[in-house]
Amino acid sequence: MEAAPAQSLRPSRSFADELWQLLRLGVPIALVQFGMTALNFVDVAMLGHHDPQSLPAMALGNTLAWAALVFCFGATTAVDPLLSQAVGARDTAALPRVLGRGILLAVVLSIPAALLLLPAATWLAWLQQPEALIADAAAYARIQSLGILPFLCYAVLRSHLSAHARVWPQVLTIVVGNALNVLLDWTLIYGHLGMPALGASGASIATVICRWWMLGALLWFGRQDLMPHLRQLRDATVRRSAFALGPLWRLLKLGTPIGLQFALEVGVFATTALLIGWLDAHAGVAGEKGATSQGLGLSGHQIALQLASLSFMVPLGLGMAASVRVGWAVGRGDATALRRSAGAALVAGASVMACFMLLFLLLPGALAGSLTTHPEVLAMAATLIPIAGVFQIGDGLQVVAIGCLRGLGDVRSPVVANVLGFWVVGLPLGCWFAFGLDWGPAGLWWGLVLGLFVVAAGLLVVLRWRLQERRERLAVE
């Protein structure tokens, strides 16, 4: 493969050339993102074919786990533009400092995030979630606390490899990681190979094991690119510079808006899940065998959300690739390449999501059937999946625009867009649809649709402004 600095300093010759270069980098990254979500997809599929309580318990526990993790994940993502811009500027001395600083930030942030999950049962009871689900959901969340550190460190190492256009170590890691997850889920959820049947807790244990294994595997598969920079941290001068409190604090300040944007976006979906859980606990929806449902809406929501998350990984990968290519262009000072990279990424993201939109609108029953066999859950999921289909294009455009803005160094505009789109428009309207008009879970999802399109429209306007400005390289030294 061509050396990354030489590749980054060679601008594309046309829009078609830029699109090809974006796809060459973005498709493997999207495949990795797809594989990351496939881990959760397998969990949902196996729990959906287990007992009726396991899937909604996992949905609640996973919601709490991501609520604790997501800000930390976003904050460590601040290394993305720093690394890609350093590669574009051929500033090799900055790379070990940024890498070491990112790993240290991951370690520091993982501690409070893990501690937040220990009283998970208290949080769920306080949020008035279905009582029958609390014990299993809390156990799922507490186990997840052990997987926060490897997840964050893995994300930092991935950012370093992506900034150098090294994606195949990531692909190999995720392929083997998915195979391991299938085996562990089959063993721990259902109780094969002499193990007890642990249901949702088994899925959580499998996830934690896979995260630690994938961190080690990425270090091994990517050792050619990672180890030279990690070894430089043995030098006392480099280490002091990398771990100095001033630059670490500035990295956290740069990452805080990204973490807030992640928390706001994931938070609105988490709040939606908790509101649906509240509906399940209080509405008395009839469930299987005539019993009161303790998770019917949550199960349908988790299935629709899992499918939407799977499709979202493709434009997310393209947005990450766009962030790298835009960062390279900023490092080179190439304004023409900035606009060309952003345009190609937006076209690619919208095109892919148009295909997913048709799939969700035309085949909701078949898609739901891949994840569950319980008739009531199938019916609920089939009403939500087409709504997810409506927001596919808006979801794709907003995440690609965020990637472009991050490459430019603008990490604050997505925060404002998320506050206005999701929390001022989408969630209040969703609550009105769900509770005022009595649309139930579908009403909350229609609120998400409106919120996503407001976010996308706002970000596209901001991106157009930013592309007309002169952009300088970011620095935290």
Write the pLDDT tens digit of every residue in 224-264: 999 999 999 898 888 898 899 998 999 999 899 999 988 99
Nearest C-alpha neighbor of 299 from the set 119, 133, 433: 133
Q: Which residues lie closer than 8 Å to 161 by C-beta, 6 or more apart?
A: 167, 169, 170, 218, 222, 225, 226
The two tokens of residue 47 are 């729990």
The helix/strand/coil state of 280 is helix
In a domain, 477, yes or no: no
Residue type, 405: L
Per-residue pLDDT reduced to its tens digit, 156-183: 999 999 888 888 899 999 999 999 999 9
Work out the pLDDT band at 33, boundaries 50, 70, 90.
confident
Q: Which residues lie closer than 8 Å to 407 by C-beta, 6 or more apart?
A: 80, 81, 84, 322, 323, 324, 325, 326, 327, 329, 330, 341
End-to-end CA separation in angstroms for the chain: 31
Work out the pLDDT band at 294, boundaries 50, 70, 90.
low
Phi, psi of 3 (to 5 degrees): -60, 135
**Partners of 286 in beta bridges:** 292
Phi, psi of 53 (to 5 degrees): -85, -25
pLDDT value, residue 169: 92
pLDDT value, residue 448: 94
- Helices and strands counted in the chain (H then E): 21, 0
DSSP state, residue 9:
T
* Cα–Cα dist 156/79, whole Å: 7
Across residues 108-133, what is the average pLDDT? 92
pLDDT value, residue 165: 82
Residue 475, CA distances (Å) to 85, 253, 312 in order: 10, 12, 30
Across residues 100-116, what is the average pLDDT? 95
* Cα–Cα dist 470/307, whole Å: 39
Write out the residue range of the structural domain in which residue 36 sits: 11-467
pLDDT value, residue 51: 75
In a domain, 84, yes or no: yes
pLDDT value, residue 94: 85
In a domain, 367, yes or no: yes
* Cα–Cα dist 141/218, whole Å: 25
Residue type, 170: Q
In a domain, 473, yes or no: no
* Cα–Cα dist 47/257, whole Å: 35
* Residue located via tokens 């992506």: 162
Helix locations, 333-472, DSSP H:
335-362, 364-369, 375-390, 392-408, 413-418, 427-431, 441-467
Work out the pLDDT band at 302, boundaries 50, 70, 90.
confident
Per-residue pLDDT reduced to its tens digit, 438-454: 998 999 999 999 999 99
Counting the structural domains of the chain, the total is: 1
The helix/strand/coil state of 225 is helix
209-223, 280-294, 356-370, 388-402: lowest mean pLDDT where? 280-294
pLDDT value, residue 278: 86
Nearest C-alpha neighbor of 150 from the set 96, 178, 110, 122: 110
Work out the pLDDT band at 47, boundaries 50, 70, 90.
confident
DSSP state, residue 78:
T
pLDDT value, residue 442: 94
Helix locations, 127-167, DSSP H:
131-144, 148-163
Work out the pLDDT band at 283, boundaries 50, 70, 90.
low
The helix/strand/coil state of 292 is strand
* Cα–Cα dist 299/371, whole Å: 10
In a domain, 3, yes or no: no
Cβ count within 10 A of residue 167: 24
* Cα–Cα dist 282/278, whole Å: 6
In a domain, 4, yes or no: no
* Cα–Cα dist 146/137, whole Å: 15
In a domain, 325, yes or no: yes
Phi, psi of 422 (to 5 degrees): -85, -45
The two tokens of residue 39 are 């881990």
Per-residue pLDDT reduced to its tens digit, 200-229: 899 999 999 999 999 999 999 999 999 999
For residue 374, pLDDT beyond 90:
no
Q: Which of 131-135, 140-144, 265-269 has the highest mean pLDDT?
A: 140-144
In a domain, 472, yes or no: no
84-98, 149-163, 405-419: lowest mean pLDDT where? 84-98
Nearest C-alpha neighbor of 12 from the set 28, 1, 27, 25: 25
pLDDT value, residue 59: 84
For residue 266, pLDDT beyond 50:
yes
